[in-house]
Chains A and B, each alone.
Chain A
Amino acid sequence: MKISVYRYNPDTDTKPRMQDYEVKTFQGMMLRDALLEVKKQDETFSFRHSCGEGVCGSDGVNVNGRNVLACITPIGELKEPIQVRPFPGRPVIRDLVVDMTQFYEQYRAVQPYLVRKDPLPEQEILQSPEERDKLDGLYECILCGCCSTACPSFWWNPEKFHGPAALLQSWRFLADSRDQATEERLDALDGPYKLFRCHSIMNCVEVCPKGLNPTRAIGKIKDLMLDKGV
């Protein structure tokens, strides 16, 4: 099988190019296996990867125009010719490795941690199974970046718009019955960009490898803002 991979090394290349490799396939082969095979043939090729089972979020790439996690994308489901490129909209460091600094900064900007103001109990803070269920579909985010780098609003305003991944986490804490910083969180999201640049294009939902729905989370934040009259 032929696989075409985006290559760019700032040390040696003046501009990027696509390079073809011939890769032997096997039953159950994932895109990551194919990239590892490329790496075996040509050690100058760089990409990030680690767990190989879709939980660490390292190996997000763009294949045939779609953002995916390479390790859980079966090669058999991809149309040939397979074209693998770095995430769109991010500065390329080398080959498939992109600079995710802004993505992480937006994540850190939403105060993605539980804030508790009451004195802490000696044992656990109680939470009913129903309250806990509200975190399902939110806490599972692996920060792979597939969503935000597929989002046109994030492409255009990555320094101002938080992007779907960060906003999903913002809602994860707003939705947590234990969190006591609702007002501060909502105040911090005010303004035309941070939250409201989302135009419900829903690319994020389309590509999330964990089946999460950032657009719905963003909608819930907007609803809560209306409720609170912020």
Chain B
Amino acid sequence: MGIPTRHFDALIIGAGGAGLNAALQLAGADLRVAVVSKVFPTRSHTVAAQGGVNAALANVLPDSWHWHMFDTVKGSDYLGDQDAIEFMCREAIPTVYELEHAGVPFSRLDDGKIYQRAFGGQSQNFGGDQAARTCAAADRTGHAILHTLYQQNIRARTHFFDEFFAIDLVRDAEGVICGALVLEIETGEPLLIESKATLLATGGWGQVFRTTSNAHINTGDGAAMALRAGIPLMDMEFFQFHPTGIAGKGMLITEGTRGEGGYLINKDGERFMERYAPRAKDLASRDVVSRAIVTEVKEGRGCGENGDYVMLKLDHLGEAVISKRLPGIRESSQIFAGVDPVIEPIPVFPTAHYAMGGIPTDRFGRVAMPAGHGSEEVVVGLYAAGECACASVHGANRLGGNSLLDILVFGRLAGKDIIEYVRENPYQRAADSASLEQAMGRLGRWEQRGDGPTVAQLRADFRKCMEDHAGVFRTEEIMTEGYNKLCELRERLPEVRLTDQSKVFNTARIEALELENMMDVGMSIAVSALHRQESRGAHSRPDYPARDDQSWLKHSLYYREGDRMDYKPVRTKPLTVESFPPKERVY
């Protein structure tokens, strides 16, 4: 096939925090690096992160990476791998300093150091008093970080393929992954990028749910590419519903609002979190707060005409604090909820927010999968980092402020590991024609003409199904029904037709490819959730209300072929410190 081909040392798919931080390492080492992004880099969803990034800098209150590690392990409901968590919490400190040196405009304390605020699930001294660990640039931390990383990549002369959509990974004749087939959105022409190493940094898939804080672009493209390459996805049942999305709309209201002293009330004006988490109250872990809100609404204590949301009260903080620390929230509340939080509370309800699970990797970002007989093997030349990956540092529930941290630490580390890998494996591999044909088949499929359901119809049905059947509370009955519906939708997918076959900037075609990705990823969530018969972190089963460490202290692995499940043990042994054994999780 006469497809134009480009060669690079490293190919990075995705230009959010993980991809750009990896690119910076690679460009700094004089490797030829290509970053492919379906949007201009600063449009990546890292830009929307608000509250901040965790690091035990101890600028405001005493802190240590070891306490941060304890909180993260506990927050994960003991499903996180403790070696990776220790590593991330240690690396957090130099990572944040490096970002500051790169130019991130962090808010400042009077002594000139980086401002840090309290966030949920943070403690001093292994479960003691509230800590203040979240480094913030007002409530626009993700924006500040993403722009800085892009800026430094301009300086480093990273090669960007802006508005190119990744179709599929390609393999050489030996079956080794050697790049990807991508599509230039502007021209509609395919391009083969062959690379010695490939990093998936494509972010999350909140768009699989109807109500989400996630952007239109968060469709799980990289995760679906991995699934189609025969790689399993890990811990997909663990999807975080952020407690405070703007009611009915889903836009995020940062946990930083509660970190600054805001709190939730029900229709009686009661500060109800005191009943659910007597100690941490509104700064309990996100899974705990989200369930509390849904319970309040279910039991008839919701606000508004339909009693279907609760209120987030901030007015007692005063205009000065709100304008200084939460300017973006004030703006969003006025635009989307029509309220000024300086005067009145914001109507909020949980919104689909973050994928704890993803492409399984080791702590160097190398994709790893079971090789039979209980051992694991690295997928040669393939890396994953950021929300699409699962290292696993978040386990069953992620703490606020740990997602920016995850993408930065593991993006950076993956970049460093790729440098070594490329030095040891300097030869270029060539894509096998069968592999390339298969990838091209994804495009060819959408050239079929005729009558059929539209992408928009199927997408709407699919997202509704996910919301109804894989939400905050999940029972066997609800999920089985959901799985059956998803199977029906999956059968309808081949009947879907595009009416627009044009080439130039055809967003309908992109949305069709995204729908395929979302449906694969959605199915992995539904199947993994149906199988896990316990309640842990974000996965809450009224029919199995307790955590069951005996049977379920293990990672799920979903394979696309036959919707098959497999499991692997949690790595409970940290790198240098004692293990934190599972305990009852109270806040």
Contacts and interface: CB of A to CB of B under 8 A. Distances in A.
A50 B186 contact: no
A128 to B, nearest CB: 5
A58 B336 contact: no
A219 interface: no
A188 B503 CA distance: 40
- Interface size range on B against A: 35 or more
B247 to A, nearest CB: 11
B338 interface: yes
A132 B503 contact: no
Interface in B128-170: 137, 140, 143-144, 147-148, 151-152, 154-155
A72 B499 CA distance: 30
B39 A58 contact: yes
Contact of B110 (A10, A129, A143): A129
Interface stretch (B100-108, B403-411, B525-533): B100-108
Interface string B229-258: 000000000000000000001011000000
B144 A139 contact: yes
A3 B469 CA distance: 36
B45 A44 contact: no
Interface stretch (A14-22, A108-116, A147-155, A190-198): A108-116
A125 B511 CA distance: 44
Nearest to A111: B155
Interface string A15-41: 000000000000010000000000110
B504 A142 contact: no
Interface string A123-140: 111111101100100011
A1 interface: no
A55 B505 contact: no
B502 A108 contact: no
Interface residues of A, number: 56
B253 to A, nearest CB: 11
Contact of B140 (A11, A12, A140, A179): A140
A158 interface: no
Contact of A120 (B47, B101, B144, B511): B101
A189 interface: no
Contacts of A56: 39, 42-45, 47-48, 215
A135 B101 contact: no
B423 interface: no
A156 interface: no
A181 to B, nearest CB: 11
Contacts of B502: 9, 11-12, 44
A97 B154 contact: no
Given A94-B505, A127-B112, A51 B456 contact: no
B40 interface: yes
Nearest to B99: A124
Contacts, number: 149
Nearest to A172: B105
Most chain B beta-carbon neighbours within 10 Å: one of A39, A124, A173: A124
Contact of B186 (A49, A93, A120, A124): A93
Nearest to B111: A126
Contacts of A44: 499-500, 502, 508
Contacts of A143: 40, 42
A127 B251 contact: no
Contact of A53 (B48, B109, B111, B148): B48
B438 interface: no
A162 B110 CA distance: 36
A128 B45 contact: no
B57 to A, nearest CB: 8
B492 interface: no
Contacts of B456: 39-40, 43
B92 interface: no
B113 A126 contact: yes
Contacts of A52: 215-216, 251
A113 B105 contact: no
Contacts of A123: 57, 97, 113
A127 B335 CA distance: 33
Most chain A beta-carbon neighbours within 10 Å: one of B43, B48, B108, B112: B43
Contacts of A127: 108, 112
11 contacts: A9-B502, A11-B502, A39-B507, A44-B499, A46-B506, A50-B43, A55-B48, A55-B328, A94-B505, A114-B148, A132-B108
Q: 4 closest pairs, A vs B, by CB? A: A114-B103, A126-B112, A113-B151, A43-B508
Given A114-B151, A123-B57, A142-B42, 5 more contacts: A40-B456, A44-B502, A51-B47, A56-B42, A131-B108
Interface of B: 39-40, 42-45, 47-48, 57, 96-97, 100-103, 105-114, 137, 140, 143-144, 147-148, 151-152, 154-155, 186, 215-217, 249, 251-252, 328, 331-332, 335-336, 338, 454-456, 498-500, 502-508, 511
Interface of A: 9-12, 28, 39-40, 43-44, 46-58, 72, 74, 93-95, 97, 100, 104, 108, 111-114, 116, 120, 122-129, 131-132, 135, 139-140, 142-143, 173, 176, 178-179
